[in-house]
Structure 1
Amino acid sequence: MATLLDHNPNPENFYASLIQGQKFAVIPELILDSGEVLESCPIAYKTWGRLNDTRDNVLVVCHALTGSSDISDWWSPLLGRGKAFDPAHFFIFCANVLGSPYGSASPVTVDPRTGRRYASKFPQTTVRDDVRAHKHVLDALGVRSVAAVIGGSMGGMTTLEWPLCTEPGYVRSIVPIATAADHSAWGISWAEAQRQCIYSDPRFDDGYYEPIPEGQPSAGLAAARMVAMLTYRSCTSFDSRFGRRPQQQRQKPRAVQEPPLDLPRTDVPVATAAPAVTTPVERERKGWTTRRDPSFSAQGYLHYQGQKFIQRFDANCYLHITNKMDAHDVTLGRVSAEESNIDDNALRSILAVVPPGALVVSVATDALFLPEQQERLAACLPGASLAMLKSSDGHDGFLLEFEQLGTLITGKLREDFPQFYNTTAVVDDTAPVTAQPGGASLTGEVEAW
């Protein structure tokens, strides 16, 4: 069982310090799917509300790829009194996944066997490893069963695995959002393009760099984030938001301190005042030595996203978690490869143990996790229903369409657990809505850029 701590066991982890109010637990030995063992494995988590007498009023919320344990940072409009995640009725738990820089065991934490940071030697973990690790923490907290598990994107992958990796009846309801039964070839390919951006940065140095914003391969990680943003949004979203409008000088958000970003510019070459050159090759090379700032607003937005990202996330961790997502497949190891490739009967048989009545949520314009993938899930989960978020923002609609999502989740929870709404726990209403200074979001997608 995990040991609950009153301190961060890796205080030198810069990125964990960005998430305010976290709690920590340590698992003595965590055996991974790979067979490797993480010793003294830290898990960072946050909770809201109180356990009831029967210790079963638990909501497990699973964060997405670059999210954190702090729901109030990325799903703030869904958390609070009278909202979908209501601490007056539920004990709400969100833990940081393995491999993320925000406090759980990852490339930026210390290997207790060597006394040095894991860096690129951190063993690869899976979504199933995350579920087992987080279950250890729930056991230490005295949780007997979980009412519902809810999560989007990678968090939706984790949501699907919770009832498959725990004893029957432990999880009573799930809400997987903008996710799939496995990571598609499309998703794997986009992730590989992002990883290659990081590998191509000379500062990556095989993963052995100083794990702080100023020390890591910032150009490669920023470029990876830019690529990712194109998969999270939609063509319609970018065209309506930016069009061909020119880049404007904007005041940087106070909550984001942006270091210099050494990215190559993509503008048309400009004339230089350099001395005359003698060959066409030299003239072409000289023409690219002077660059302008981004010409278009869309370019400026991508550069802004890259600059913001390198201040809050680690490159080794990004590589780790994208590989984790690529490996996601609920049929893996549960049926033969031949069976899983024939039709959906194998998937349907595996998901038969999931509590009936799952609510599967899709985003109409999602180009990364296509609505067809959620339709497949809904068809294979027992007694499941499918809801569609109307959004022009693509995959990130699950992080932006708060009103629609809140209505769906609240309706599902009230239908499944009316008993929890008959009692109201006394909770601290003075807690901040968001953990970031000035009300800014560190990991969320709502911003006034």
Structure 2
Amino acid sequence: MNDARHFFTFAEPPDLMPVECGAGLGPITLAYETWGELSAAQDNVILILHAFSGDSHVASHEQGNSKAREQGWWEFMVGPGKGIDTRKYFVVCSNIIGGCMGSTGPASVNPATDQPYGMDFPVVTVKDMVQAQKLLLEHLGIRKLLAVVGGSMGGMQALQWCASYPDMVTSAVLLATTARHSALSIAFNEIARQAIMADPKWQQGSYYGSDGPELGLAVARMIGHVTYLSDEAMRRKFGRRLQDRCNLSFDFNANFQVESYLHHQGEKFVRRFDANSLLYITKAADYFDFTTVDSETLTSMADAGIRFLVTAFSSDWLYPTYQSKELVRLLKKNSINVSFCEIEADSGHDGFLIPSRRLTDLVAGFLRARSEEKR
């Protein structure tokens, strides 16, 4: 992707990394990027955790080739003078295992067969993803995190970080996330998975070297993309406007602008994402359930003094505000320090990815206070 991306390979056979399903995985490669400079005291590290279809390229880099300077998925938030100020903080982000943006996933070569894993890739969980991230940080010599920051499925990873390694985490910023998927969220993910698996070109996951299930993957993305928006955002952006602005075609082509938009999103996604990765990552998100964390773990989080910022968006119907409030109640019930804010926004679940002065100030202020407390 760019010359700012680095790779860390570990768990070389026979020393495989155990995963929750009972299998072992290795070798594992994580693609990662960094911004800013690590302080002498190593107390300014922020780990950013991406959402399900994201990657390590959070923001552009001032140095490097044109690819390295391409805008990242959180460009408005991360960089010099921004909410997560890379003049102050050392920022790390890696692509998750199971992904397809440089890290080991179903499209990677299985050393046992010298062929892509496909569906032989073990089912991985959010806990497994976090375990791999910890090994990366140890490789980088990092023992403490000022903050873990994540939106959507990135927020799940941030929660898991606090549960698995509380002594490494000072604070956590959770944006548009949930403690566990509702039946509605699981249902949408299953429809997306079935769209892929029903495509004849899926071939039970063994499509590498051929065209692959492009139609199924495009439909899966269209389904997901609708859940990221809101009724108001779609009304404002598209309404019932027609493509040619005057006549119905009386066929099954994309008459409405919203139809054409979804087709475009599906086609664009097919060019950058692996269908099997979508299957594995959505299943990992469905399996995540922070409400089942035992009392000993919650006590460890409280004893570690982790401070939380939980932020919801008023029009998010995928992970609605009531789910954030349930998480806040769970944390407070266990004497964990947590602040909560609901941001009024009509952009839906994607609110944390859309430039917002209020969100930027909120995150910047929270991180600044945590940094000052460490001095």
TM-score in terms of structure 1 length:
0.75
What is aligned with 1:394? 348
Q: Distance in 1 between matches of 2:244 and 2:7?
A: 43
User: Is residue 2:48 matched to residue 1:68?
Assistant: no
Q: Deviations over 1:354-407 (max 9, x none)?
A: 634311010100010010011111222212111122211110111114322211
**Amino acid aligned to 1:169:** D
Cα contact 1:56–1:143 (8 A) shared by 2:
no
Task: Give the corresponding residue for 2:218.
Answer: 222
Q: Post-superposition shift, 1:135?
A: 0.7
CA contact (8 A) 1:348 1:380 kept: no
State the 1:169 CA deviation.
2.4
Task: Compute the displacement of 1:97 (Å).
Answer: 0.5
Partner of 1:196: 194
CA 1:183–1:52 in structure 2 vs 1: closer, same or farther (change >3 Å)? same
**1:349 positional shift:** 5.9
Structure 1 residue identity aligned to 2:43:
D
Q: Aligned AA for 1:68?
A: D
Counterpart residue type for residue 164 of structure 1: A
Q: Cα deviation per residue 1:206-264 (whole Å; 9 max; x = unaligned)? A: 111126xx712111111111111111101111111111111159xxxxxxxxxxxxxxx
AA aligned to 1:310 is V
Amino acid at match of 1:103: G
- Aligned: 1:244 with 2:194: no
Which residue does the alignment assign to 2:65?
none
SS of alignment partner, residue 186 of structure 1: helix
Which residue in the other structure is 2:148 paired with?
149
How many residues end up aligned between the 2 structures?
353
Aligned amino acid, residue 189 of structure 2: A
1:267–1:98 Cα change, 3 Å: farther
The higher relative CO (CA closer than 8 Å, separation ≥ 6) is in: 1
Question: Please, which of 216, 228, 252 is the counterpart of residue 232 of structure 1?
Answer: 228
- Which of 7, 12, 36 is equivalent to 1:49? 36
- Which structure has the greater CA radius of gyration? 1
**Code of the aligned partner of 1:24:** F
Amino acid at match of 2:23: E
Q: 1:308 & 1:132 partners in 2: Cα distance?
A: 31
**SS of corresponding position for 1:378:** helix
Q: Report the equivalent of 1:123.
A: 122
CA distance in 1, matches of 2:153, 2:304: 18
Instruction: Indicate how the Cα distance of structure 1 residues 118 and 125 shifts in structure 2: closer, same or farther if over 3 A, else same.
Output: same
For residue 340 of structure 1, what is the aligned residue in structure 2?
A: none
Which of 299, 302, 311 lines up with 2:259 in the alignment? Answer: 299
- Residue 267 of structure 1 and its aligned partner are, at CA, apart by 7.1
Q: Which residue of 2 aligns with 1:330?
A: 290
Query: Aligned in 2, Cα 1:353/1:246: closer, same or farther, shift over 3 Å?
Result: farther
Check 1:355–1:112 CA distance in 2 against 1; reply closer, same or farther (3 A cut): farther
Task: Report what 2:7 is aligned to.
Answer: 24
Contact 2:181 2:285 in 1 (8 A): yes
Q: 1:136 to 1:380 in 2, by over 3 A?
A: same
Cα distance in 2 for residues equivalent to 1:401 and 1:188: 28
Q: Distance in 2 between matches of 1:375 and 1:66?
A: 25
Opposite residue 368 of structure 1, the aligned amino acid is L
Tell me: CA distance 1:298–1:417, structure 2 relative to 1, closer, same or farther (3 Å).
same
Report the counterpart of residue 363 of structure 1 in structure 2.
313
Is the Cα–Cα contact under 8 Å of residues 101 and 314 in structure 1 kept in the other structure? yes
- Contact 1:176/1:360 (8 A) holds in 2: yes
Where structure 2 has 5 or more consecutive residues not aligned to the other structure, the ranges are 60-71
C-alpha displacement of 1:418: 2.2
Give how far 1:351 is off: 5.8
Is the contact between residue 199 and residue 213 of structure 2 (CA under 8 Å) also seen in structure 1?
A: yes
Q: 2:371 aligns with which of 414, 417, 422?
A: 417
Q: What code does the residue aligned with 1:23 have? A: H
What secondary structure, in the 3-state scheme, does the structure 2 residue paired with 1:51 have? coil
Percent identical among aligned pairs is 37
User: Are residues 19 and 379 of structure 1, via their aligned partners in 2, closer, same or farther at CA, if it must alter by over 3 Å?
Assistant: farther
Partner Cα separation in structure 2 for residue 407 and residue 379 of structure 1? 24
Q: Which amino acid aligns with 2:350?
A: D
Structure 2: distance between partners of 1:352 and 1:144 = 19
Cα separation, 2, equivalents of 1:108 and 1:170: 32
**Counterpart of 1:180?**
178
1:87–1:242 CA distance, 2 compared to 1 (3 A): same
Q: 1:216 to 1:19 in 2, by over 3 A?
A: farther
CA RMSD of the aligned region, Å?
A: 2.2
Q: Whole-Å Cα distance in 2 between the matches of residues 353 and 126 of structure 1?
A: 26
Within 1, Cα distance between the matches of 2:161 and 2:298?
A: 16
Q: Name the SS of the counterpart of 2:9 in structure 1.
A: strand
Cα contact 2:98–2:105 (8 A) shared by 1: yes
Q: Does 1:104 align with 2:96?
A: no
* Residue correspondence of structure 1 range 159-174 to structure 2 within 5 A: 159-166=158-165, 168-174=166-172
Contact 1:174–1:359 (CA under 8 A) maintained in structure 2: yes
Tell whether the 8 Å contact from 2:169 to 2:306 is kept in structure 1 after alignment.
no
How far off is 1:67 after superposition? 0.4
Gaps of 5+ in 1: 1-17, 250-265, 270-290, 336-344, 423-449
Contact 2:163 2:297 in 1 (8 A): no
Provide, for residues 137-159 of structure 1, a one-character-per-residue CA deviation record: whole Å limited to 9, x for no partner: 11111112100000000000001
Does the residue aligned with 1:417 lie in a helix, a strand or coil?
A: helix
